[in-house]
């Protein structure tokens, strides 16, 4: 086995082996001296010198020589150079990072067990100076063990880790690994990725750049993606029938892979009871819609599930994406008070009312009036007041509208020819309206600028999502909107004049439309974008958001944010918490999560697929408020990613190619030094030397005593 020496100069010390021999042969009599009257009768006996030159105790001499040799070897700092030792030593102390995918796609067949074994193997050959981190990731990443000095903590963590209901995102995991490796001072860096390497989790824009020299090892579990049946998003169409709200679920089942048609059963469950069942034949690599009969929605927080029955599915099936959970409550129509000009006919706001009536979902409850602004109690029943072609009232009416807006309501002023406001009431409205301007020449004016970042126009951001440019405006009010912190212009005509502007008033807002929302001044009402525009305008003015029927696993709900809770359908929970009433959330796994009242922030992490039920503490008798959580359907796409693509992307420019020139030599020296330090053979040699010296001391003492006891008078005379 080849042996290397870090400081071979100390091997010169091996010459010290001859020291005991030389000392033995050359040293004079022992230091003990007897002063004697005269040496006249004593003499040097020739055979005595011969006896000294003869080595009697070869074993003792060997012990001494061997001890000196071991000392010299220890100081030369030896190390083993064979392949095994080299492999063990690697490139010196190494910072290992193991990324373990625990997304729910790892539940297929034995992928998880294989991944755990691979992770254990990855930390199996650590050196004494290595450090290792275990990063568990799904769509987020967390370091379960960070820079531990041994594999024990890793193994303990692997014994307790489990699969989550979340999707795969490689970006956070690689970013965390990059951070750990960059912060490490160890010369070697190693990254091991244990994953099924789904393509869906990789965008290619993660922006990961591992430290130079990092060794990347990809352990892909589940090479062949199995066929999979997944239930995509479901639509819950709502309408009203005979005064009751009906919901019509429609699901879409997607099948990836497969060679033949597959018959499956799809059921609809409400509050734990199967309501409907459908038989569906799935073609290979195809998608089939599944329509259910509408059902009447009567109870709040009705928990529904559309589920593909697992019977008949292949064994290698990802089951988590075969169900979609939702929570529905009877809709709350947005109350709209439409104030037309006094004495105006019913057609004055025909397009506007028709647009609001065709809304699906919660819908709008429109009350038309040509009278004065109602009292505060009546205003409290609506969320939006539309002043259609009538001015913002002054006096007490205007005061009530300002208070209504400040309390969170929305006021939409459609200017028309009579709209406007006085200087007294202008503090609640954006800018100053001027005279009517005609744009009748040519094709009329058009909208030249839309703020697509604003909620009103956000819906129309993408291509083919609505074209406002086709709408022509023949008449509009001139309008000066000076810059103000609370004022923003949401749309402008092609001549630059404002078309739509908003001013925040307290918790609410006022919006002004410079033209009309009918077919007289503009043909906008004849365009496809009109209805959704009106809906978005009124929705935004109301301050309401859509209530989500389900969340995706991994999302976090800010319990202390009333608006977020309203969006989640948990407005009453938010109100209870605001009233200092505690709540308890029960996760699908049965784990209890306290939602304490008081100043936040308090968060509810929705990590598990199913229903999170929220109740007052100790009140199991009340119907719980629920939140549905579904797995990310994107995880159902099991198409694999090319490991080399990932490696090429996350490695830095130099990759793990060894540095050149002096850096190479230095790296080599560092490796040798690290190898020697890791093996630490000198400790054993030094210990052996001390043991030999101790043994030599004991043995030599015994030999001396034995020689003293056996010493007798020898018949040898001397004359000097």
User: Is residue 55 close enough to count as binding other proteins by CB under 8 A?
Assistant: no
Q: Is 44 in the site for other proteins (CB under 8 A)?
A: yes
Place of tokens 């999707």: 167
Report the nearest approach of other proteins to the CB of residue 26 (Å): 13
The DSSP result for 324-382, as a single string, is EEEEE----PEEEEEEPPTT--GGGGHHHHHHHHT--TT-EEEEEE-S----HHHHTT-
Residue 364 CB partners (closer than 8 Å, separation 6+): 333, 334, 335, 336, 356, 357, 538
Closest to other proteins by CB, 48 vs 265, is 48
Among 29, 242, 580, 644, binds other proteins (CB under 8 A): 29
Q: How far is the CB of 719 from other proteins (least distance, A)?
A: 6
> Judged by CB under 8 A, which of 2, 36, 343, 618 binds other proteins?
36
2, 9, 47, 496: residue in contact with other proteins (rule CB under 8 A): 47
Can you tell me which of 1, 33, 423, 579 binds other proteins, judged by CB under 8 A? 33
Q: Give the orientation angle of helix 662-679 with respect to helix 681-709, to 10 degrees.
A: 40
CB 430 within 8 A of CB 497: no
Q: Using CB under 8 A, count the residues that bind other proteins.
A: 32
Would you give the binding string for other proteins spanning residues 619-658, x where CB under 8 A is met? Answer: ----------------------------------------
224 vs 710, beta carbon nearer other proteins: 710
Of 40-48, 445-453, 507-515, 600-608, the window that binds other proteins (rule: CB under 8 A) is 40-48
- The CA-atom distances, in angstroms, between 168 and each of 164, 323, 464, 655 are 10, 18, 31, 25
- H/E segment holding residue 134: strand 131-137
Report the distance separating Cα 108 and Cα 110, nearest Å.
6
Residue 41 binding other proteins, by CB under 8 A: yes
For the record, the structure tokens of 594 come out as: 């306290």
- Minimum distance, C-beta of residue 25 to other proteins, in the bound complex (Å): 14
Residue 653 or residue 717: which is nearer to other proteins going by CB? 717
Based on CB atoms, which residue is closest to other proteins, 39 or 244?
39
- Which sign does the torsion angle of CA 57, 59, 60, 65 carry? positive
Q: Does 381 bind other proteins (CB under 8 A)?
A: no
Per CB under 8 A, which region of 28-36, 223-231, 639-647, 691-699 contacts other proteins?
A: 28-36
Q: Quick check: 54 binds other proteins (CB under 8 A)?
A: no
Residue matched to tokens 């030397």: 689
Rule CB under 8 A: say whether 38 interacts with other proteins: yes
Which of these segments, 23-31, 168-176, 232-240, 661-669, binds other proteins (CB under 8 A)? 23-31
CA distance 13 to 7: 12
Angstrom CA distances, 561 to 245, 283, 383, 551, stand at 29, 45, 20, 16
How many whole angstroms from its chain centre is CA 350? 49
**What count of other Cβ atoms lies within 10 Å of the Cβ of residue 667?**
18
- Could you tell me which stretch among 43-51, 435-443, 510-518, 627-635 binds other proteins (CB under 8 A)? 43-51
Q: Does 601 sit near other proteins (CB under 8 A)?
A: no
Q: Give the helix ranges, DSSP H, for 165-237.
A: 170-183
Residue 273 binds to other proteins (criterion: CB under 8 A): no
In angstroms, give the least distance from the CB of 693 to other proteins: 24
Residue 47 or residue 241: which is nearer to other proteins going by CB?
47
With CB under 8 A as the contact rule, the residue among 48, 555, 567, 700 that binds other proteins is: 48
- By CB under 8 A, name the one of 1, 22, 30, 272 that touches other proteins: 30
Shortest approach of other proteins to residue 64 CB, angstroms?
20
Closer residue to other proteins (CB): 41 or 684: 41
* Residue of 335, 347, 333 whose CA lies nearest to 388: 347
Binding region for other proteins (CB under 8 A) out of 47-55, 164-172, 490-498, 680-688:
47-55
Cβ-based nearer residue to other proteins, 620 or 712:
712
User: Which residue's CB is nearer to other proteins, number 22 or number 31?
Assistant: 31
Q: Does 242 bind other proteins (CB under 8 A)?
A: no
45 binds other proteins (CB under 8 A): yes
Q: How far is the CB of 37 from other proteins (least distance, A)?
A: 4
Token representation of residue 193:
């990725």
Which residues, numbered 518-577, are part of the site for other proteins (CB under 8 A)?
none
650: how many CB neighbours lie within 10 A of its CB?
Answer: 21
Stretch that binds other proteins, among 7-15, 30-38, 262-270, 490-498 (CB under 8 A): 30-38
For the chain, the farthest-separated pair of C-alpha atoms sits apart, in whole angstroms, at 158
Write down the least CB distance from residue 672 to other proteins, Å: 51
CB nearer to other proteins: pick between 243 and 708: 708
Q: Does 717 bind other proteins (CB under 8 A)?
A: yes
Our CB check for other proteins shows the closer of 54 and 273 to be 54
Of the listed pieces 32-40, 308-316, 384-392, 642-650, which binds other proteins according to CB under 8 A?
A: 32-40
User: In terms of CB distance, is 160 or 713 closer to other proteins?
Assistant: 713
Counting contacts by CB under 8 A, is residue 32 touching other proteins?
yes
Report, in Å, the least distance between residue 51 CB and other proteins.
Answer: 8
Cα distance between the two ends of the chain: 59
Tell which one of 18, 39, 578, 687 touches other proteins (CB under 8 A).
39
Least Å from the CB of residue 149 to other proteins: 57
d(CA 168, CA 554): 11
Please report the DSSP string for 612-652 in residue order. Answer: EEEE-TT--SSPPEEEEEE--GGGG---B--HHHHHHHHS-
CB 60 within 8 A of CB 703: yes
Q: Which of 22, 35, 224, 298 binds other proteins (CB under 8 A)?
A: 35
Instruction: Rule CB under 8 A: say whether 715 interacts with other proteins.
Output: yes
Provide, rounded to whole angstroms, the least separation between the CB of residue 46 and other proteins. Answer: 11
Please give the structure tokens belonging to residue 508: 């609410």
Q: Measured from the CB of residue 44, what is the shortest distance to other proteins in angstroms?
A: 6
CB closer to other proteins out of 580 and 712: 712
371/720 with CB nearer other proteins: 720
CA dihedral over 506, 507, 513, 519, signed as positive or negative: negative
Where does 519-609 show beta strands of DSSP type E? Answer: 551-552, 555-558, 583-586, 592-595, 603-606
Exposed, middle or buried: residue 61 (CB in 10 Å: 0-12, 13-18, 19+)? Answer: middle
DSSP for 254-297, please give it.
Answer: EEES-SS-EEEEEEEEETTEEEEEEEEEEPTT-EEEEE---EE-
Residue 576 CA, chain-centre distance (Å), reads 31
Q: Is the dihedral of CA 586, 592, 597, 601 positive or negative?
A: negative
Q: What is the torsion angle, in degrees rounded to the nearest 10, for the CA atoms of residue 614, residue 616, residue 622 and residue 627?
A: -10
Assess contact for 267 and 290: CB atoms under 8 A: no
Site string for other proteins, 694-713 (x = CB under 8 A): --------------x--xxx
Tell me if 122 sits within 8 A of 159, measured CB to CB: no
CB of 43 to other proteins, least distance (A): 8
Binding footprint of other proteins on the chain (CB under 8 A): 28-45, 47-48, 51, 708, 711-720
């Amino acid at each position: 086995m080849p042996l290397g020496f870090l400081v071979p100069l100390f091997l010169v010390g091996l010459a010290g082996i001859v020291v005991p021999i030389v000392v033995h042969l050359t040293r004079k009599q022992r230091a003990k001296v007897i002063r004697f009257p005269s040496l006249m009768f004593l003499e040097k006996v020739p055979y005595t010198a011969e006896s000294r030159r003869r080595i009697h105790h070869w074993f003792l001499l060997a012990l001494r020589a061997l001890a000196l040799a071991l000392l010299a070897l220890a100081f030369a700092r030896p190390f083993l150079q064979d392949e095994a030792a080299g492999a063990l030593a690697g490139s010196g102390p190494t910072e290992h990072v193991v990324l373990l995918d625990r997304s729910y796609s790892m539940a297929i067949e034995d992928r998880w067990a294989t991944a755990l074994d691979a992770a254990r193997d990855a930390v199996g050959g650590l050196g004494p100076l290595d450090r290792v981190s275990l990063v568990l990731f799904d769509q987020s990443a967390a370091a379960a063990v960070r820079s531990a000095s041994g594999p024990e903590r890793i193994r303990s963590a692997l014994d307790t880790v489990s699969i989550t209901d979340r999707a795969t995102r490689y970006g956070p995991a690689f970013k965390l690994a990059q951070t750990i490796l960059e912060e490490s001072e160890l010369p070697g860096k190693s990254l091991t990725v244990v994953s099924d390497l789904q393509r869906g989790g990789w965008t290619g824009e993660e922006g990961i750049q591992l430290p130079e020299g990092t060794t990347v090892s990809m352990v892909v579990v589940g090479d062949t993606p199995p066929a999979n049946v997944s239930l995509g998003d479901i639509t819950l169409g709502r309408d009203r029938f005979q005064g009751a709200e009906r919901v019509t679920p429609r699901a879409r089942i997607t099948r990836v892979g497969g060679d033949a048609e597959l018959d499956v059963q799809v059921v609809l469950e409400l509050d734990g009871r199967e309501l409907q069942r459908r038989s569906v034949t799935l073609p290979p690599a195809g998608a089939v819609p599944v329509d259910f009969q509408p059902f009447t929605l009567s109870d709040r927080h009705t928990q529904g599930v559309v589920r593909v029955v697992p019977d008949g599915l292949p064994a290698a099936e990802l089951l988590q994406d075969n169900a979609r959970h939702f929570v529905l409550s009877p809709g709350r129509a947005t109350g709209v008070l439409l104030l037309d000009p006094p004495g105006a006919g019913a057609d004055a706001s025909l397009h506007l009312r028709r647009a609001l009536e065709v809304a699906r979902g919660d819908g709008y409850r429109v009350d038309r009036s040509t009278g004065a602004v109602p009292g505060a109690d009546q205003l409290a029943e609506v969320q939006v007041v539309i002043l259609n072609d009538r001015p913002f009232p002054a006096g007490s009416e205007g005061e009530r509208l300002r208070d209504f807006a400040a309390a969170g309501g929305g006021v939409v002023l459609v200017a028309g020819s009579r709209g406007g406001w006085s200087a007294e009431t202008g503090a609640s409205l954006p800018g100053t309206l001027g005279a009517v301007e005609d744009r009748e020449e040519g094709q009329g004016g058009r909208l030249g600028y839309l703020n697509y970042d604003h909620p009103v126009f956000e819906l129309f951001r993408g291509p083919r999502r609505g074209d406002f440019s086709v709408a022509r405006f023949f008449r509009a009010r001139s309008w000066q909107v000076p810059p103000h912190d609370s004022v923003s212009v949401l749309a402008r005509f092609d001549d630059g004049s404002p078309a739509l502007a908003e001013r925040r008033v307290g918790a609410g807002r006022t919006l002004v439309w410079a033209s009309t929302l009918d077919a007289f001044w503009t043909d906008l009402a004849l365009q496809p974008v009109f209805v959704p525009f009106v809906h978005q305008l009124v929705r935004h003015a109301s301050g309401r958001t859509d209530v989500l029927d389900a969340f995706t696993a991994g999302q976090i709900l800010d319990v202390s944010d009333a608006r977020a809770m309203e969006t989640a359908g948990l407005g009453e929970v938010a109100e209870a918490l605001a009233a200092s009433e505690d709540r308890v959330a029960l996760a699908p796994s049965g784990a209890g999560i306290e939602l304490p009242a008081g100043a936040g922030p308090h968060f509810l992490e929705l990590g598990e697929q199913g229903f999170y039920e929220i109740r007052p503490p100790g009140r199991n008798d009340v119907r719980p408020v629920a939140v549905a959580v579904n797995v990310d359907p994107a995880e159902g796409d099991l198409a694999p990613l090319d490991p080399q693509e990932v490696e090429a992307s996350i490695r830095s420019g130099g990759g793990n190619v060894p540095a050149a020139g002096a850096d190479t030599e230095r790296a080599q020296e560092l490796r040798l030094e690290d190898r020697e330090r890791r093996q630490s053979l000198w400790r054993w040699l030094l210990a052996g030397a001390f043991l030999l010296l101790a043994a030599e001391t004991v043995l030599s003492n015994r030999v001396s005593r034995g020689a003293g006891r056996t010493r007798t008078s020898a018949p040898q005379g001397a004359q000097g």
